[in-house]
């Protein structure tokens, strides 16, 4: 089999990035990687990846640069490096969750340098990423989509073209807005039931077999807070950041989001007053239970 042509530079090897970069390696792509956490790069090198000493050397060794980073300034730093030392004809795929307006502005900056920019926001969990089953919400022109499709297919099994550049991250913000707010409501509902004396297993059975069900509660919560594990798959700090982007985007668009804004305040309280920012998003259950003066419900 002829190996894929594109040389990939992957920046950001966290809970989602490392398994996705590993999937690229399994599918024959040459992957040069960089992360400030050296141990994450070590793990990818063990799987056949190439270590980059810095972002500049990664850019020099790559045709396509992929970023999976925590926040806007991190992505902007990579874009600045690409604008300075990248080559015309290169392409950047940003999988980070950042403000859609900023994403479009970064794309315009690189376009002026002859470098294409695609936002390919990621859905689903780290477990899906490990299996190469991520979902991608893509903002791209048709020719750029055709170029990145083999790369995305190596990491996932569902690609949804949301429109021009900036549309993929806009869809991710909407999706995460609903998911994070739903997590808060789930935590409050389970806490209310526990306070009323209902067994957790009973509540779980009824909720997940009724119209009140949601996939987050049904498939993810039993692996995390409902079994007492709040090690981060997706941390409350990141959830707060994503929900804040959504609330701010809504304000800019003139869209009232009363429930989403309230959910963001709850996540903020869990972060600051209860010190749960580094814990998994399902740890909002611990916060809700503490506010109610009870032990967190568990299956």
Catalytic residue among 113, 172, 224, 241: 172
Kindly state the tokens that stand for 276.
Answer: 């749960």
Q: How would you classify residue 23: left for phi > 0, otherwise alpha for psi between -120 and 50, otherwise beta?
A: alpha
Residues 6+ apart with CB under 8 A from 80: none
C-alpha to C-alpha distance for 248 and 120, rounded to whole angstroms: 21
Tell me if residue 281 falls in helix, strand or coil.
Answer: helix
Residue 237, CA distances (Å) to 126, 166, 254 in order: 17, 23, 26
User: 284, 267 in Cβ contact below 8 A?
Assistant: yes
Q: Are 223 and 116 in contact (CB under 8 A)?
A: no
- Give residues with Cβ within 8 angstroms of 39, minimum separation 6: none
SS3 at position 72: helix
172 in catalytic set: yes
List CB contacts of 258: < 8 A, sequence separation 6 or more: none
Query: CB under 8 Å to 66, separation ≥6 — which residues?
Result: 8, 9, 10, 11, 21, 92, 93, 94, 95, 151
Catalytic machinery residues:
172
């Amino acid at each position: 089999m002829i190996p894929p042509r594109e040389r990939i530079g992957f920046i950001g090897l966290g809970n989602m990035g490392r398994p996705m970069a590993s999937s690229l390696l399994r599918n024959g792509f040459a992957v040069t990687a960089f992360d400030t956490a050296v141990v994450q790069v070590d793990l990818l090198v063990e799987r056949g990846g190439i270590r980059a000493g810095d972002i500049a050397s990664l850019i020099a060794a790559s045709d396509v640069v992929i970023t999976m980073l925590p926040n806007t300034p991190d992505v902007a730093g990579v874009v600045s490096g690409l604008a300075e030392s990248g080559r015309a004809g290169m392409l950047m795929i940003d999988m980070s969750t950042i403000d859609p307006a900023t994403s479009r502005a970064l794309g315009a900056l690189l376009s002026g340098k002859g470098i294409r920019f695609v936002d390919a926001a990621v859905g689903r969990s780290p477990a899906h990423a490990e299996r190469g089953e991520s979902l991608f919400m893509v903002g791209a022109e048709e020719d750029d989509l055709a170029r990145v499709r083999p790369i995305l297919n190596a990491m996932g099994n569902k690609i949804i073209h949301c429109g021009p550049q900036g549309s993929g991250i806009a869809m991710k913000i909407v999706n995460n807005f609903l998911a994070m707010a739903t997590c808060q409501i789930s935590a409050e509902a389970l806490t209310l039931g526990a306070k009323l004396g209902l067994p957790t297993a009973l509540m779980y059975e009824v909720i997940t077999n009724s119209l009140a069900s949601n996939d987050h509660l049904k498939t993810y919560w039993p692996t995390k807070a409902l079994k007492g594990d709040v090690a981060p798959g997706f941390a409350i700090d990141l959830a707060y950041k994503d929900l804040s982007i959504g609330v701010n985007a809504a304000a800019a668009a003139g869209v009232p989001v009363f429930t989403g804004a309230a959910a963001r305040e709850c996540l903020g309280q869990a972060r600051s007053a209860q010190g749960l920012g580094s814990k998994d998003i399902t740890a909002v259950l611990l916060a809700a239970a503490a506010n109610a003066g009870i032990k967190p419900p568990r299956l």
